[in-house]
């Protein structure tokens, strides 16, 4: 994809998020919830990925907001603002090949700061943003883009977000990385096995939810 096309596509997603935000009633977000539905979250993420590959920015925007609401229990307002931050970070990452901390990290930090404040969570937004960026970089780096390496990076993100057992976080991260691997491999061949992608994501989020519940019982 050329730089011009990338900017155009990213602009369309940003525009869709702005349009969505224009109709949002800003409310104080409710207390954080961690009892997300793994199948629902996996379905939303799968549809978001699919919309991206089919170049449907409005669907990408809607599903991204829905993913954030389902995973973190946020209001529409906070989800829309955080989604715009994530879209900005993705655009900057795609257009960069180094210096990510100066360009990509700030919007990721803003997104996670919004989520942290809405959830009244104890984690550090900058540390979580760095963990998010780390797995993006791993997906781009030769000898690190395999599911094992990317899964480890995603697992470290989950440890930061949920303070869960590292081994369980690794299992959840590996499954999500496998889903991304299936998606990418299919896009090269022209046909993505979306049901298989969704199955892996569901397994990943079930593993993550189980680890969160186990942590709750321990605390």
Distances (CA, A) of 142 to 154, 186, 189: 17, 19, 20
Q: What is the pLDDT of residues 112-122, one digit of tens each?
A: 999 999 999 99
Q: Which residues touch 64 (CB under 8 Å, ≥6 apart)?
A: 17, 48, 83, 86, 87
Q: Which residues touch 8 (CB under 8 Å, ≥6 apart)?
A: none
Nearest to 20 by CA among 67, 86, 79: 79
Nearest to 149 by CA among 162, 137, 161: 137
Please, are residues 173 and 157 in contact by the beta-carbon 8 Å criterion? yes
**What per-residue confidence (pLDDT) applies to 32?**
39
**What per-residue confidence (pLDDT) applies to 3?**
37
**What per-residue confidence (pLDDT) applies to 131?**
96
**Average pLDDT of the residues in 100-122:** 95
């Amino acid at each position: 994809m050329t730089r011009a096309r990338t900017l155009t596509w990213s602009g369309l997603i940003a525009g869709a998020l702005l349009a969505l935000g224009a109709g949002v009633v800003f409310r104080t977000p409710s207390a954080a919830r961690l009892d997300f539905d793994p199948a629902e979250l996996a379905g939303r993420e799968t549809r978001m990925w699919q919309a991206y590959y089919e170049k449907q920015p409005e669907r990408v925007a809607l599903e991204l907001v829905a993913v954030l609401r389902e995973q973190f229990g946020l209001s529409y307002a906070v989800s829309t603002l955080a989604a715009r931050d994530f879209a900005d970070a993705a655009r900057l990452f795609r257009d960069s090949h180094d210096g990510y901390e100066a360009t990509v990290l700030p919007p990721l930090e803003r997104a996670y700061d919004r989520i942290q404040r809405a959830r009244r969570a104890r984690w550090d937004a900058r540390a979580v943003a760095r963990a998010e960026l780390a797995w993006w970089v791993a997906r781009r780096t030769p000898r690190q883009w395999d599911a094992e390496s990317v899964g480890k990076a995603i697992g470290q993100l989950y440890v930061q977000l949920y303070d869960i057992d590292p081994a369980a976080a690794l299992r959840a991260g590996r499954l999500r990385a496998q889903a991304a691997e299936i998606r990418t491999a299919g896009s090269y061949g022209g046909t993505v096995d979306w049901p298989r992608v969704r199955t892996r994501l569901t397994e990943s989020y079930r593993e993550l939810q189980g680890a969160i519940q186990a942590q709750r019982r321990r605390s």
